[in-house]
Homo-oligomer: A and B are copies of this chain.
Amino acid sequence: MFKIPKYKHPDFNKELFLAAPDVKIKRVIKDGVAPNNYHVTSMYPEYFKVNGRWILATESRMDCVPVIIDDETIEMKEFRNLKVGDQVIIGRTEDGSEGIYLHVNGFMEEEKEGDVFAFRTGRSRETAFTKDYEELVELLKYEKENGYIVWVLGPAVSFDYSSRKSMADLINEGYAHAILAGNAVATHDIEGALFGTALGQDIYNQDSKPNGHYHHLDAINKAREMGSLQRLVENGDVKNGIVHACIKNDVPMVLAGSIRDDGPLPNVYSDVYDAQEAMRSHAKRATTVICLATQLHTIATGNVTPSYTVVDGEVRPVYIYAVDVSEFVLNKLRDRGTLQGKTIVANIQDFLGKLRDRLID
């Protein structure tokens, strides 16, 4: 059974913290531009001393500028959202000396004694994933009832009959609270519902269908005609799949547009920063994030997802999983500072089938 690890705040009675000054601030004098020496956040818990009290920033995200709203509240703002007059915290230390403290090790883990040398310290196709799968299954059972599970989907989810069905089953059974994806995922999924194909190729037996390259365009055109994915599903043509499951279960989908889109579908964000806001609104609530086979959306989601969140006043970790057959994509994610993330090298078809079978009878 999964148990939330305990979080331990720093001991603010230590001299270090008592002696620390309040943070300094500067006001924004041009919209969207931070004052000199602005501070930026990481994905870890960060505390700021304001009026003599250390305040934890909630709803954080990395590479944002901390803005003091009031004595209790610090908001993490993207540069583009800074407004004239905003009180930006200044300083580039994280050790308390400027009233800023980064708390990397709040979640106590048993210390492991290091060896002088160990083979195979990275995670690759040759890493043993047995326990990771077991833990993820337990985690998802817990999160279904107690958390907020965000899935980040690449197009490949819709390219195979079983993976598409597994994902829909997981949504239908309550294992998804939000879906972040692009125009392509939803387009291929609707094509799957309407024609049984993805980009003209049968998602069960791989047959290329005559004039199959029209399928995804016909799917888009039909959705545009309906005016919304909601109406497309209610109209009865789309009877299965991921979009269908989301709409039937009121699971929100954020569909971000991209320069490679045809169409696009209705409901797709054409403005990427609006899309990012929408993604962040789910990332703020997320307790577990699972990213499948998409470099762009995985990194984008990693950027807006902190390593911790506050639920009912308690700080708890946010778990991030990234699954891909490419170690390069996964290593890149880890290199971006998304260190809390666990990476699994797998074809997501297998990954989704395995999760589905272990979570649903």
Contacts and interface: CB of A to CB of B under 8 A. Distances in A.
A78 B296 CA distance: 24
A309 B287 CA distance: 51
A327 B335 CA distance: 14
Interface residues of A, number: 102
Interface in A83-114: 92, 94, 102, 112-113
Interface string A125-139: 111111100000000
A235 to B, nearest CB: 14
A289 interface: no
B201 A296 contact: no
8 contacts: A33-B224, A40-B213, A80-B263, A112-B207, A119-B201, A121-B335, A128-B201, A129-B160
Given A126-B159, A127-B159, A295-B295, 17 more contacts: A34-B221, A40-B217, A63-B262, A79-B224, A79-B263, A102-B116, A115-B209, A120-B335, A125-B325, A129-B349, A130-B162, A130-B204, A259-B296, A346-B349, A347-B350, A350-B354, A357-B357
Interface of A: 30, 32-34, 38, 40, 42, 63, 78-80, 92, 94, 102, 112-113, 115-122, 124-131, 155-156, 159-162, 198-214, 217, 220-221, 224-225, 256-264, 270-276, 279, 293, 295-297, 299-300, 303, 325-328, 331-332, 335-337, 345-347, 349-351, 353-354, 357
